[in-house]
Structure 1
Amino acid sequence: MLKREDFTPQRIDQIIAEARKHGPYHALTHEERAENRLQFLGQKEKHPQDRQGKQQGLWVFGYGSLLWNPAFEFEQSRPARLFGYRRRFCLSLTMGRGSPDKPGLMLALDTGGSCNGRAFYIPEELVESETTILWMREMLTGAYKPKWCRLQSDGHMFTGMTFVVNRDHPRYVQQMSREETLQRIARGEGYLGSCRQYLENTVAHLDEINVVDSYLHELLRDLEESGVERKLINELSQANGT
């Protein structure tokens, strides 16, 4: 589980240094990350106001690990729907829940369809501190882009923000077969755990809010039924001479 204490400039430098031991690794500088955050938040007043008619605080839409491990402070949360984007395992991963030896895939919001998740409300007095943490979490390499969006909850529309995939980033995977996707999820593992655990946690927390994401639920079902994991276990056994 990630904690807010994990998101400090010193810790970010350690993560980047460790990643670069295994080869080239592009990461934003602290200055680039801070400039991106301030520039994005500076656009807030240009966007439609919430249903109360005022722009106080900040709503953040979560669709993956934010559902169970936001690591930032918030005042309230509610189920919400985002239009125009959908969940997809489309980011190659060699750290966190992947490694150079066991590369995985990370979930992101890609264009098309809609997505149900959760909106977290950060009160105005905490926006500075909590978005600083959020940017260190989501904008390490620039594989995501912050985006203002309109969210729907209980029939009401309100303005929030989320992070969508950066399709120009070298880690973006435009196309991958279902079989390879399943293999990467089954094999991917790093210091934060496995891609399989990430998928299971996401599905479990969607179940808690009565959300069926056919893409994720079917991936988990196929992972359990396809024999991919049994094949992986056999390969590991053979490699270990057992």
Structure 2
Amino acid sequence: MTAPSDDSGDLWVFAYGSLMWRPGFEAVERRKARLVGAHRALCVYSFVHRGTPEKPGLVLGLDRGGNCRGIAYRVAADKREQTIAYLREREQVTMVYLEAWRQVWLDDDPRESVRALCYIVDRGHEQYAGQLSAAEQLHYCRQGHGRSGANRDYVIATVEELEAMGVRDRGLHLLAQQLKGN
């Protein structure tokens, strides 16, 4: 885990999965954003929120390479520390993510970028699934159910949010279609 940025002003948070549709914190601004150098991938076995160690689910992580379209939330300075504490409690239950500060580009003005808090998958963690086949992804997403609910619902809600943003992730969309068929 890294220390919070030395900036004591407003906090920007980059969301690429469930934080897009269920942030759980108060934001004063929500903008479409793009992170370069990492991509959204179903590459994390979920042992808590969408699965258990005995029956893991599969959730998204930011994995290295490519780029990712998501949401950048701006949090008021007076809510900064409270929001970071909340995110650590939510995202770092098993420490599968590395807390990092990255530049993200805001879609409303491609020349505008902000430094945002991101959660990048730790490839050395036991929950790092790497690149799984479509059949393996479907298996884990069908079986997964944890503290935050069914893995199936997580994938479908994420795809619905991406669609609302005008983003199509072919693999995730196909998976969501298969999961809706259940």
Asked whether the two chains share a fold, i.e. TM above 0.5, the reply is yes
Task: Give CA-to-partner distance per residue, 1:61-113, whole Å, 9 cap, x none.
Answer: 00111111111121111110111111111111232211345321111111111
The structure 2 residue matched to 1:103, chosen from 41, 49, 56, is 56
Task: Give CA-to-partner distance per residue, 1:202-226, whole Å, 9 cap, x none.
Answer: 011111221222231132235457x
Counterparts of 2:81 and 2:147, CA distance in 1:
29
Q: Is structure 2 residue 93 aligned with structure 1 residue 146?
A: no
Find the counterpart in structure 2 of residue 117 from structure 1.
Answer: 70
Find the counterpart in structure 1 of residue 146 from structure 2.
Answer: 190
Within 5 Å, give how 1:216-235 maps onto structure 2: 216-223=172-179, 229=182
The answer for unaligned runs of 5 or more in structure 1 is 1-35, 46-54, 230-242
Q: Secondary structure at the match of 2:80?
A: helix
Find the counterpart in structure 2 of residue 51 from structure 1.
Answer: none
The answer for unaligned runs of 5 or more in structure 2 is none
2:101 partner letter: W
Question: 1:62, 1:119 within 8 Å by CA — same for their partners in 2?
Answer: yes
CA apart distance, 1:172: 0.7
Q: Secondary structure at the match of 1:212?
A: coil
Within 5 Å, give how 1:33-44 maps onto structure 2: 36=1, 39-41=2-4, 43-44=5-6
2:115 partner letter: T
1:148 partner letter: W
Question: 1:92, 1:173 within 8 Å by CA — same for their partners in 2?
Answer: yes
CA apart distance, 1:188: 1.1
Within 5 Å, give how 1:42-191 maps onto structure 2: 43-44=5-6, 56-153=9-106, 154-155=109-110, 156-191=112-147
Q: Secondary structure at the match of 1:40?
A: coil
**Which has the higher mean CA deviation after the structures are superposed, 152-161 or 113-122?**
152-161
Question: 1:67, 1:117 within 8 Å by CA — same for their partners in 2?
Answer: yes
Question: 1:60, 1:162 within 8 Å by CA — same for their partners in 2?
Answer: yes
Question: 1:85, 1:112 within 8 Å by CA — same for their partners in 2?
Answer: yes
2:144 partner letter: G
> Based on CA coordinates, which of the two structures has the bigger radius of gyration?
1
Figure out how many residues of one structure are paired with residues of the other and give that number: 179
The structure in which a higher percent of residues are strand is 2
TM-score, normalising length from structure 2?
0.89
Counterparts of 1:114 and 1:191, CA distance in 2:
30
Q: Secondary structure at the match of 1:160?
A: strand
Task: Give CA-to-partner distance per residue, 1:146-172, whole Å, 9 cap, x none.
Answer: 111111112122221210101111111
Question: 1:102, 1:190 within 8 Å by CA — same for their partners in 2?
Answer: no
RMSD: 1.9
1:208 partner letter: A
Q: Secondary structure at the match of 1:149?
A: strand
What's the % identity of the aligned pairs? Answer: 36
Find the counterpart in structure 2 of residue 209 from structure 1.
Answer: 165
Q: Which has the higher contact order (CA 8 A, sep 6+)?
A: 2
